[in-house]
Structure 1
């Protein structure tokens, strides 16, 4: 039987500033049978997305397809003219992008955008397309599928929008669907929902798919076969069990090793840090949010409630939670970007003014922020040298040769060559840009760096290098970090203490060495057990276990929350809730024998008996 997709000797080149074509995909060949899911994996720059886009006859700006053949069904894609390619894209080959938020028109309803492809390709009348869209919404486990289409993109969550994009791709019954890192930016619990929905629809429709990812644990749940890429060449091509369990190529083995971040040596010799000196940062009873204040003095949109947290000098505290839990708002409050509604933030025992306008230059200098998106946080019109020079001038008054020398020192500090100083941000890789963001923060010589999801968009190898660099800088410079992430594996690799936020509440805190020890707050247990494992079938198993334990919201026998009670924010999703208690009384904060704390009605011993062991993290304990 002839393969549905056949790629032979595909070559793609990019033209450099000197007008010379540089090969970036070098003679790649593979085939894909009907109904098969093929994963393309590798580091950033390996050619994964470039190859996937070539299946639609598309090359990004500055690149061109230089040779080879791509056949999808009976169509020779690289021989099609513009009209033929337009007919192919969205009809024969559909594409699901990494960032759903940037792929939707904010001024149109979801339904208008989902059925648009069906209208363009004249595959069915509008009424039929809408009915099919509703069925896809239902198949993708989207809430209220009959009315979801009337909403606008900003009215649904990121995970829901990613699934709506999948409905947009599947509406025309394409022969091939390309999924390009569709869960990379999602937190672990949302990722599970999206992966399960994608997998269910692929099974139901018998879809042929190419799944682009750098995450081997995710690929293990989705793919029948894996193609491993490096520098535009195939290093390994095999069935998923073989690649995961008996990789043939050394590079594949290195990717598998990097899939689970190693625990970094974060020990530093600072004997007086916690015993004699006050904490570097202390947060007391913090409330924050957005919008006008109500009668109680709190903002109408409340994001954080009663947060208490300390960071010792030279320590790293990780803050984890799903999207919307308040992690970034917490960092922005510390940085002075969001006002304090109630409570206080102290630096070395002195209160920090609520907003940046009231802070001194020294206070700004001592607390620096490294943002999540390296692309948008660097001015594309300025050279790297100019970007790093600005804080040197502003905070330290450096000029001329002294400033140039310090720029080179900063580049060396983050392990980048001196020649980078003359480049623009657009000429750097994602990992290089994130190192520049870190160097810019270090230029101020701060005491505390707030790191907001700084490795979430990076592949595992580059992310591991950034984590190693942070641990090294901490030992050398004695800098403290607040490390914000939705990835528990990353946080446990570098942090002394882990704080868990849910819906603006601090539901748990524990030292790193106790990460694998039950009891956990039920939400923490959900988060940690949601980290995908490098084994096929893990997704099906975890979804089945959760379906059997967690009653549907509003199920019979579940008592309603008492009006006005300051209840546990996790109550509606909790598989361990105690009706008559959890829905009536606010949860107490309980101290654990391992030095941690949880916000829960359950006695710690009772929770420990009910919670499954977390074998994935046993090496930390």
Structure 2
């Protein structure tokens, strides 16, 4: 059988600042049969995306295809000139990017953008392209497929935008689609919807795919075969089940093991320390205000949380539940409409500008994307010494010595001191991000999705680092995530956020079993398992949900009512649920007595 994609001895080189070249991809050979999905997996910098983009005849600025052959659907891509390549891209092969939010033009309607490839490649006249777009919206299980295209990107969720981007990639009916980490930034429940939509449409149309990812549980659901890459070279390849269940290469085994993150056996022992941070009746929103000064649209509504000194509180929930808004509010970057923040026993002003220098020093943020907060023109040493000078007045040799100590604390070699962020890997940049926060000598660190974009090996190392810092420095943390594995690896306690409400608080170690809020059960059951067939099982279970149409959510009603199979009619939709104490200090906001909630078995959600 002739392969639809054939890569033989591919080499891609990049140019250093001094003009010399370095190999990015080295002697890579692979084949993809028609109708097959191939997964490219490996850590950051392994060459996954570089190889995937080379199938389209594209390399990043400063790089070049320096050797080998690339054949896709009968085209020798490595020999194509610019004009044929423009016709080839988008028509024969199309691309689905990782971040749909930044790929769409915010000033244009989605319908106009989705049909653009069909019009620019002269595949269909406008009227037919519009009809095909609606058919694709329907196939992608998008709400209101006839009218959703009239909306703008900012009006849709991340999962909806990702499916719309797939529709745009499919509208020309290409033979090959490249998926570049399309579900990395999605929460677990949205990820299931997107993966199932992708898989169903590709199977129906017999499209060949290449799926770039570092999430091995996703690989198990979507890929027929997998190629493991390291340092730009293939270290293992074969059927997905064999690569994931019986890896042969040492690095492949390391990658699989890293995907099974360690779990804390129990919550921290001993009495609960006094809180370093307490939030009381926090309300954040926008729009018109009522007589009490409360906004009509609320992102956070009545939040009550506390972080014990020296402990890690995990905040988990779907995209849009208010996690990042919570972090911004605590940091003083987002104004609150009501409620109080007490930090180290004193009230904290809502705006960061009105906080004292000492309060600002003691509360630090480690952002998700280190590239957005580390100045690419400065050396790592200069970045750290700036913080040390600003908060502690350290200069010269004293500042340098402290900066080197911080690098050692986050397990980075001292040689990093003279390097700049663009010269570092994703994991190294995130460690520098940590060191910069620690340079202030804080009491509380806000970690906002710090492992979301990292591969399993690097993510496991960052989580281990966080746990060690907590143990050695007595650091208090709020750990924002949508990854339950990461949460259980480092957190003492967890708060489950939905629609701006805390629906449950419990020990992190108990989250995978026992009695929980129905929404917590949904999150746990949505954690992908690293075995083929898991997605089919979950999809079948969810199709059995409830036959009755969900009631509208009234002000004060349970935020989960529209998806809850156990909802009580005329109560859950408009009566605020009471907070019921559970075992081990758990608190669950639900109208059902805890005895009526079915227990969650460990095997139901543990991967």
The verdict on a shared fold, with TM-score over 0.5 as the criterion, is yes
Q: Is the 8 A contact 1:265 1:471 kept in 2?
A: no
* Gaps in structure 1 of 5+ consecutive residues: none
Specify the SS of the correspondent of 1:344.
Answer: strand
Q: Distance in 1 between matches of 2:154 and 2:387?
A: 35
Specify the SS of the correspondent of 1:325.
Answer: coil
Query: Could you say which residue in structure 2 is the equivalent of 1:247?
Result: 247
Q: Distance in 2 between matches of 1:394 and 1:266?
A: 39
Specify the SS of the correspondent of 2:544.
Answer: helix
Q: Distance in 2 between matches of 1:247 and 1:452?
A: 33
Q: Is the 8 A contact 2:516 2:600 kept in 1?
A: no
The structure-2 alpha-carbon separation of the partners of 1:550 and 1:532, relative to structure 1 and needing over 3 Å to count, comes to farther
1:348 offset after TM fit, Å? 2.0
Q: Is the 8 A contact 1:515 1:617 kept in 2?
A: no
Query: Could you say which residue in structure 1 is the equivalent of 2:282?
Result: 286
Query: Could you say which residue in structure 2 is the equivalent of 1:568?
Result: 558
Q: Distance in 1 between matches of 2:266 and 2:371?
A: 29
Query: Could you say which residue in structure 2 is the equivalent of 1:180?
Result: 180
Q: Which segment drifts farther, 376-385 or 183-192?
A: 376-385
Q: Alpha-carbon deviations, 1:60-80, whole Å to 9, x = none?
A: 112110010011122111111
Q: Distance in 2 between matches of 1:606 and 1:157?
A: 33
The structure-2 alpha-carbon separation of the partners of 1:456 and 1:90, relative to structure 1 and needing over 3 Å to count, comes to same
Query: Could you say which residue in structure 2 is the equivalent of 1:352?
Result: 348
Q: Distance in 1 between matches of 2:84 and 2:606?
A: 55
Q: Distance in 1 between matches of 2:264 and 2:462?
A: 11
Query: Could you say which residue in structure 2 is the equivalent of 1:222?
Result: 222
The structure-2 alpha-carbon separation of the partners of 1:172 and 1:432, relative to structure 1 and needing over 3 Å to count, comes to same
Equivalent residues in 2 for 1:296-311, closer than 5 Å? 296-311=292-307
Q: Distance in 1 between matches of 2:368 and 2:606?
A: 29
1:21 offset after TM fit, Å? 1.3
Query: Could you say which residue in structure 2 is the equivalent of 1:164?
Result: 164
Q: Which segment drifts farther, 341-350 or 69-78?
A: 341-350
Specify the SS of the correspondent of 1:506.
Answer: strand
Aligned counterpart for 1:331 among listed residues 327, 334, 338: 327
Query: Could you say which residue in structure 2 is the equivalent of 1:141?
Result: 141
Query: Could you say which residue in structure 2 is the equivalent of 1:107?
Result: 107
Q: Distance in 1 between matches of 2:29 and 2:551?
A: 59
Q: Is the 8 A contact 2:515 2:600 kept in 1?
A: no
Q: Which segment drifts farther, 458-467 or 401-410?
A: 401-410
Q: Distance in 1 between matches of 2:547 and 2:226?
A: 36
Aligned counterpart for 2:528 among listed residues 526, 532, 544: 532
Q: Distance in 2 between matches of 1:604 and 1:266?
A: 22
Q: Distance in 2 between matches of 1:332 and 1:266?
A: 30
Q: Distance in 1 between matches of 2:458 and 2:335?
A: 34
Q: Which segment drifts farther, 455-464 or 228-237?
A: 228-237
The structure-2 alpha-carbon separation of the partners of 1:157 and 1:202, relative to structure 1 and needing over 3 Å to count, comes to same
Q: Distance in 1 between matches of 2:284 and 2:430?
A: 28
Aligned counterpart for 2:272 among listed residues 274, 290, 314: 274
Specify the SS of the correspondent of 1:590.
Answer: strand
1:90 offset after TM fit, Å? 0.6
1:585 counterpart = 2:575: yes
1:599 counterpart = 2:593: no
* Gaps in structure 2 of 5+ consecutive residues: none
1:294 offset after TM fit, Å? 2.9
Q: Distance in 2 between matches of 1:313 and 1:487?
A: 24
1:404 offset after TM fit, Å? 1.2
Q: Distance in 2 between matches of 1:451 and 1:560?
A: 34
Aligned counterpart for 2:449 among listed residues 450, 453, 477: 453
1:264 offset after TM fit, Å? 5.1
1:518 offset after TM fit, Å? 2.2
Query: Could you say which residue in structure 2 is the equivalent of 1:615?
Result: 603
Q: Which segment drifts farther, 196-205 or 513-522?
A: 513-522
1:259 offset after TM fit, Å? 0.9
1:260 offset after TM fit, Å? 2.1
Q: Distance in 1 between matches of 2:573 and 2:16?
A: 63
Q: Is the 8 A contact 1:289 1:338 kept in 2?
A: no
Q: Distance in 1 between matches of 2:233 and 2:574?
A: 60
Q: Is the 8 A contact 2:552 2:562 kept in 1?
A: no
Q: Is the 8 A contact 2:53 2:59 kept in 1?
A: yes
TM-score, scaled to structure 1: 0.95
Specify the SS of the correspondent of 2:503.
Answer: strand
Q: Alpha-carbon deviations, 1:100-148, whole Å to 9, x = none?
A: 1111111111111111111111111111111101100100011111111
Q: Alpha-carbon deviations, 1:431-480, whole Å to 9, x = none?
A: 11111111110000000000000110111110100001111111111111
Aligned counterpart for 2:544 among listed residues 548, 556, 565: 548
Query: Could you say which residue in structure 2 is the equivalent of 1:518?
Result: 514
TM-score, scaled to structure 2: 0.97
Aligned counterpart for 1:503 among listed residues 499, 505, 515: 499
The structure-2 alpha-carbon separation of the partners of 1:82 and 1:560, relative to structure 1 and needing over 3 Å to count, comes to closer
Query: Could you say which residue in structure 1 is the equivalent of 2:470?
Result: 474
1:613 offset after TM fit, Å? 2.1
Query: Could you say which residue in structure 2 is the equivalent of 1:408?
Result: 404
Equivalent residues in 2 for 1:6-405, closer than 5 Å? 6-263=6-263, 274=272, 278-291=274-287, 293-405=289-401
Specify the SS of the correspondent of 2:150.
Answer: coil
1:402 offset after TM fit, Å? 0.9
Q: Distance in 1 between matches of 2:403 and 2:28?
A: 41
- Count of aligned positions: 607
Q: Is the 8 A contact 1:264 1:468 kept in 2?
A: no
Q: Is the 8 A contact 1:264 1:471 kept in 2?
A: no
1:616 offset after TM fit, Å? 6.2
The structure-2 alpha-carbon separation of the partners of 1:386 and 1:267, relative to structure 1 and needing over 3 Å to count, comes to farther
1:383 offset after TM fit, Å? 2.0
